Structure 1
Amino acid sequence: MPISRRNFLNLAIGAGAAAGLAACGSSGPGSGSGGSGSGNAAGAATYWSLSGPPGEPIRKAAIDRFNAANPDSKITPTFFQNDAYKQKIKTSIGAGEGPTMIWGWGGGGLKTYVEANQVEDLTGWLNENAALKDKIFPSSFGAATVNDKIYAMPIETVQPIVLFYNKQVFEKAGLQPPQSWGDIVDNLVPKFNAAGIAPFSLGGQSRWTNMMWLEFLLDRTAGSEVFDKVFAGEANAWSDPAVLDMLTKVQNLVKANGFIKGFSSITADSNADQALLYTGRAAMMLHGSWSYGIQQSEGGDFVKSGGLGWMNFPPVEGGKGDPSNTVGNPGQYLSISSKATPEAKEVAKKFFSTTLVDDAEIDGWIKSGGVPIIKGSDAKLGASPDAEFLKFVYDTSANAKVFAQSWDQALSPTAAETLLDNIAKLFQLQITPQQWVDSMNGVIGK
């Protein structure tokens, strides 16, 4: 079923979730009673989040567990569809009528809340509760951090971007998965083209799929520091020489026919890019870890027969980035409204430190096909028929020196739209790397 980029953060990975990949939820708000306000009643708190499977049942179960254990300090939930939630939460928080607990994606959206003094600084509380903080992947805190302070609790699941490949195509061509960027451009691309197979599938019309290439290449070339400066709003941060180098590498790959012919008219939402991989028309594909579930659901016996391979993005020769680094979705996030009552804030913190890290929470996400953000949850993955892939996702996320958030989530909506537009033009060779840099410098901090 089709998947929307803006819904993928609400989706799980494995086969159990594949059938619901298009689900954005029931018409919200709905599932909970009440919901507005910041927990005005003493010993009460409110919680807003997304509706629909697989997330809503797990989130509701967590609240039910907490309420049963804490009858004098209950949480009232309300669930919304994805797009409705984004609009409702923004206007409600701005009017001082938001919930106690604010579910979100971290990054640019969280930064706007911080700049408006709308969410609590959790740095001190997490330091005082070091055992709680230590349960969570360290790399997930990046998207929860603004100006070196933590304003959200990382929760739920991790979803890194993965380099998938068709094992059968590689075996037939007598080739091995890429060991480096040079191996891709000097060896695999020309040999697959010569064999009449596209080196890489790409749903380029969707734009965000192209973005993953830039994210990884900049990280592998320069490390995380360059984009950190962009996120911090540093003037002309895109002018770093590593950015021009990365953009040039991308355009050289396009010119070398590294991607399927006509990629700019292929949509990711239709899963057409996925089909190119499992049918063998393309050898490789850079995509989110949720692609595994799509390949399994739509690719016949491709996954079951062992035809799908996966790996982290390879290093770039001479690059400064740590090869363990990854990009994508390092978690989902819960913040606490600064406008909530002291009593409601304490309820939220108790919910954070108990229910959201308990065994039932971990089991719920694993059953949905997800990889929990909690250290040690890999011990429970072995019973899954998809254990090999899920453990890969766990290890990639747990061991990453840096787990960078997708750029269009990390930046403001204004900057993100300009980013996606320029990325599409870059891949279509309609602008030069320098024009890309100049345009992106113009929206830093906007």
Structure 2
Amino acid sequence: MMFRKQLTAMAAVAVTLVAAACGTSGPSASGGAATAWSLTGGDEQTFRSSFDSWNKAHPDAAITPTFFANDAYKQKIRTALGADQGPTLLYSWGGGTLKSWVDAGKVLDLSDEVAADPQLAGRFLPSVVKTGTVGDKTYALPNNAMQPVVLYYNKELFTRVGAEPPKTWDDLMALVAKFKGAGIAPFSLGGQSKWPMLMWLEYLVDRIGGPQVFADIAANKPDSWSHPAVLQANTMIQQLVEAGGFVNGFASIATDSNADLALLYTGKAAMYLMGSWAYPTLKTANAGFISDGKLGHTTFPAVANGKGDPANIVGNPANFWSISATASDAQKQAALSYLKDGVMNPQYVDTLLAGGAVPPVKGLESKISASPDGAYLSEIYKLAADAPSFQLSWDQALDPGQADALLTGLSQVFLKQITPQQFSDTMNKTIKP
């Protein structure tokens, strides 16, 4: 039965707003106020501001948020859902993680709500809404910005060595030698977190073989991890590591602490491959690096004789809210009301733009260009809107078990503990018939 049919008339519930700090805010299954779990950094301030405004205006439908570091959240939400102790609003990337929640009956089908209210999903770009669907049903709705992965660079360092941003992989490898010769790390990388390594594999596989390579992997095509594009991409990654392409000690640098981003703006590293969610974080950490014109960005370089369109991008079309199936009726109603009226209202959109993020909402071109970061945000919006392929991050597109194996194996590739062939052989064993 759909969510609308499940709701019953409810008495008002008096709640007290709890400070939105890291820690446990209480599971949905226990009743009480609706809850939401999300991530620190990035759009955290947007979420805090939104929930604060919502709770002040809707004290009888208040939502208590709690924020976790990326890796900690992924572990905690998995454990909580397994015990039916998850929050009312669940934060996700869509893809395989969302599908696993749907298959386990952990989240509500919102299809009737979307059909009844054309603006609930219709205000978003269709390509983004699709990531929140499983089959032909909607289980999640966007809650933040489009997040393509781009190559950020320190313009000051490029000027110092007389270099230009790389347009091809050969250009990139030449820059490694140039920056190393100047005593500068070519690339920053948070290797301890593992998932930042994945962006290198995603882009290289796409540039070499095109998006169909991963489409076959995601479809569990037998031996799809042995595609020549995967083997070549991992070989190129190991060549980049051997050439000293990454900062010394990258395996011990954590992205959750923003230590990798700091290497870029402090001049320790020349380049940084990361999702556009890094921009709002940079605005908070060192706004002067942006205002002084030191930050540059470009697309991932092309690979000679590659089949992939250089305009293809990888990353996250957005992040999403789903509603827990184990929440009480009162919690479900509060969450649905928030999705309708609290998410992506004019104030919410303005807050995202002010923070340096691009909402996936239709018809925002003029508002984006007029924002303080209009030039950058317009380029990100166009990059996402015009991309022939916008591939969801692989660790989110795959089921959680495969994703764990992928990140572990790729870390071993970067550390040269296994060969590209061994990586492919191991990953082929995770394919489900």
Check if 1:152 corresponds to 2:140.
yes
Structure 1 residue 419: Cα displacement: 1.9
Counterparts of 1:204 and 1:90, CA distance in 2 = 23
Q: Which whole-Å deviations, capped at 9, do the CAs of 1:341-371 have from their partners, x for residues lacking one?
A: 9998787666544443421331233344433
Instruction: Check conservation: 1:164, 1:287, Cα contact below 8 A.
Output: yes
**Shift in CA distance, 177/247, structure 1 to aligned 2, threshold 3 Å:** same
1:109 maps to which residue?
A: 97
Aligned letter for 1:335? S
Q: Which whole-Å deviations, capped at 9, do the CAs of 1:56-85 have from their partners, x for residues lacking one?
A: 3313434665x48xxxxx645233343787
Query: Under a length normalisation based on structure 1, what TM-score does the superposition of the two structures give?
Result: 0.76
2:12 maps to which residue?
A: none
**Shift in CA distance, 105/63, structure 1 to aligned 2, threshold 3 Å:** farther
Structure 1 SS opposite 2:63: strand
Counterparts of 1:367 and 1:107, CA distance in 2 = 28
Structure 2 SS opposite 1:257: coil
Aligned letter for 2:160? K
Counterparts of 1:59 and 1:351, CA distance in 2 = 9
Counterparts of 1:382 and 1:274, CA distance in 2 = 26
Structure 1 residue 254: Cα displacement: 1.9
1:29 maps to which residue?
A: 25
Structure 1 SS opposite 2:351: helix
**Shift in CA distance, 339/225, structure 1 to aligned 2, threshold 3 Å:** farther
Counterparts of 1:174 and 1:56, CA distance in 2 = 43
Aligned residue pairs: how many?
409
Counterparts of 2:31 and 2:74, CA distance in 1 = 17
2:10 maps to which residue?
A: none
Range with greater deviation from structure 2 (266-275 or 233-242) = 266-275
Check if 1:276 corresponds to 2:263.
yes
Instruction: Check conservation: 2:152, 2:274, Cα contact below 8 A.
Output: yes
Check if 1:79 corresponds to 2:75.
no
Instruction: Check conservation: 1:326, 1:400, Cα contact below 8 A.
Output: yes
Alignment partner for residue 241 of structure 1, among 203, 228, 236? Answer: 228
Which residues of structure 2 form unaligned runs of 5+? 1-18
Counterparts of 1:99 and 1:293, CA distance in 2 = 26
Check if 1:58 corresponds to 2:50.
yes
Counterparts of 2:369 and 2:110, CA distance in 1 = 34
Range with greater deviation from structure 2 (107-116 or 121-130) = 121-130
1:251 maps to which residue?
A: 238
Instruction: Check conservation: 1:157, 1:365, Cα contact below 8 A.
Output: yes
Q: Which whole-Å deviations, capped at 9, do the CAs of 1:34-53 have from their partners, x for residues lacking one?
A: 954799xxxxx955333875
Structure 2 SS opposite 1:228: helix
**Shift in CA distance, 322/340, structure 1 to aligned 2, threshold 3 Å:** farther
**Shift in CA distance, 61/302, structure 1 to aligned 2, threshold 3 Å:** closer
2:7 maps to which residue?
A: none
Structure 1 residue 331: Cα displacement: 1.6
Counterparts of 1:152 and 1:161, CA distance in 2 = 22
Q: RMSD over aligned Cα, in angstroms?
A: 3.8
Structure 1 residue 95: Cα displacement: 6.3
Alignment partner for residue 231 of structure 1, among 207, 218, 221? Answer: 218
Aligned letter for 1:225? Q
Alignment of 1:92-241 (within 5 A): 101-122=89-110, 126=114, 132-147=120-135, 149-185=137-173, 187-241=174-228
Range with greater deviation from structure 2 (149-158 or 92-101) = 92-101
Check if 1:317 corresponds to 2:304.
yes
Check if 1:365 corresponds to 2:386.
no
Structure 1 SS opposite 2:291: coil
Instruction: Check conservation: 1:155, 1:333, Cα contact below 8 A.
Output: yes
Structure 2 SS opposite 1:227: helix
Aligned letter for 1:155? N
Instruction: Check conservation: 1:24, 1:51, Cα contact below 8 A.
Output: no
Instruction: Check conservation: 2:280, 2:355, Cα contact below 8 A.
Output: no
Structure 1 SS opposite 2:36: strand
**Shift in CA distance, 154/196, structure 1 to aligned 2, threshold 3 Å:** same
Counterparts of 2:412 and 2:39, CA distance in 1 = 35
Counterparts of 1:264 and 1:99, CA distance in 2 = 33
Instruction: Check conservation: 1:140, 1:403, Cα contact below 8 A.
Output: no
Which residues of structure 1 form unaligned runs of 5+? 1-22, 40-44, 69-73
Q: Which whole-Å deviations, capped at 9, do the CAs of 1:398-423 have from their partners, x for residues lacking one?
A: 33333333333333443333222221
Instruction: Check conservation: 2:37, 2:87, Cα contact below 8 A.
Output: no
**Shift in CA distance, 368/117, structure 1 to aligned 2, threshold 3 Å:** same
Aligned letter for 2:420? P
Structure 2 SS opposite 1:303: helix
Alignment partner for residue 435 of structure 1, among 398, 419, 422? Answer: 422
Structure 1 SS opposite 2:99: helix
**Shift in CA distance, 179/124, structure 1 to aligned 2, threshold 3 Å:** farther
Structure 2 SS opposite 1:373: coil
- Percent sequence identity over matched residues? 43
Counterparts of 1:445 and 1:313, CA distance in 2 = 31
**Shift in CA distance, 297/342, structure 1 to aligned 2, threshold 3 Å:** closer
Aligned letter for 1:333? F
Counterparts of 1:27 and 1:346, CA distance in 2 = 24
Structure 1 residue 297: Cα displacement: 5.0
**Shift in CA distance, 126/282, structure 1 to aligned 2, threshold 3 Å:** same
Instruction: Check conservation: 2:20, 2:66, Cα contact below 8 A.
Output: no
